[in-house]
Amino acid sequence: MKKYTKENVFNVKTEGTPEDFRTYLQETFGEYLKSSYRHYFETYKIRNILEIIAVIALPVLVFYFGQTRHWLKIAIFILMVIGMKTYLIKNFYKLYKTLKGGVYYRFDKHGISMMVDSDCQVRYDTDSWDLVESVYEYDDSIVVNLSDKAELAEEIHIIGGDKEKNLKNLLGFWQMSLNFTLNGKNPDDMPDYYSAEEMEEVQNFIEEQFGEIDCIAHEKESALGLHVDLAIIKPTEERPYYTVCTLGVGAYRMTMNDEDRVENHTPEYNEFLIHLPADWVVMPEEGYEKEENWWPIRLLKTVAVEPKDSHECFKFNEIVSYKRSDESQKSTSVYIDFPLPDPNYITRFSTSTGRTIQFLQLIPLTEEEANHFDVDRIVDYYEKSSYYYDMDTESTQEMDEEDRIDLYTEHILNHFKKIANNS
Q: Are residues 289 and 159 in the same domain?
A: no
Of 128, 161, 187, which closes a domain?
187
Q: Are residues 354 and 307 in the same domain?
A: yes
Residue 326 confidence (pLDDT): 57
**Rounded Cα–Cα distance for residues 256 and 265 (Å):** 11
Q: Are residues 163 and 207 in the same domain?
A: no
Which structural domain range is residue 377 located in?
196-421
Q: Are residues 156 and 262 in the same domain?
A: no
- Bridge partners of 14, per DSSP, are none
Residue 259 confidence (pLDDT): 85
Residue 290 confidence (pLDDT): 79
- In terms of residues, how long is the chain? 423
Residue 41 confidence (pLDDT): 83
Q: Are residues 232 and 104 in the same domain?
A: no
245 contacts 189 by C-beta, under 8 angstroms: no
**Rounded Cα–Cα distance for residues 60 and 126 (Å):** 51
Residue 330 confidence (pLDDT): 65
Q: Are residues 214 and 86 in the same domain?
A: no
Contacts of 184 (CB under 8 A, 6+ apart): none
Of 187, 207, 232, which closes a domain?
187
Q: Are residues 165 and 252 in the same domain?
A: no
Give the residue from 393, 353, 362, 38 showing the smallest Cα distance to 198: 353
Q: Are residues 274 and 170 in the same domain?
A: no
Give the pairing of strands 215-217 and 229-233. antiparallel
**Rounded Cα–Cα distance for residues 245 and 211 (Å):** 11
10 Å CB burial of residue 328 (0-12, 13-18, 19+) is: exposed
Of 187, 220, 240, which closes a domain?
187
Residue 324 confidence (pLDDT): 57
The CA dihedral of 325, 330, 334, 339, to the nearest 10 degrees, is: -130
Ordered strands of the 121-127 beta sheet: 21-22, 103-108, 111-117, 121-127
**Rounded Cα–Cα distance for residues 73 and 27 (Å):** 41
Q: Are residues 398 and 362 in the same domain?
A: yes
Q: Are residues 174 and 230 in the same domain?
A: no
**Rounded Cα–Cα distance for residues 156 and 131 (Å):** 12
Residue 200 confidence (pLDDT): 96
Residue 388 confidence (pLDDT): 95
The CA dihedral of 141, 147, 151, 153, to the nearest 10 degrees, is: 30
Residue 215 confidence (pLDDT): 92
Residue 325 confidence (pLDDT): 56
**Rounded Cα–Cα distance for residues 66 and 64 (Å):** 6
- Model confidence over 171-190: pLDDT tens digits? 999 998 888 765 556 666 77
Contacts of 62 (CB under 8 A, 6+ apart): 68, 70, 71, 74
Give the residue from 123, 232, 175, 129 showing the smallest Cα distance to 14: 175
CATH value at residue 58: 2.30.29.30
Q: pTM of the entire structure?
A: 0.87
Residue 214 confidence (pLDDT): 94
Give the residue from 47, 46, 35 showing the smallest Cα distance to 143: 35
Instruction: Give every residue of the chain whose pLDDT is below 50, as ranges.
Output: 423
Contacts of 160 (CB under 8 A, 6+ apart): 23, 24, 25, 26
Structurally, the chain folds into a number of domains equal to 2
Q: Are residues 178 and 259 in the same domain?
A: no
14 contacts 168 by C-beta, under 8 angstroms: yes
Q: Are residues 107 and 207 in the same domain?
A: no
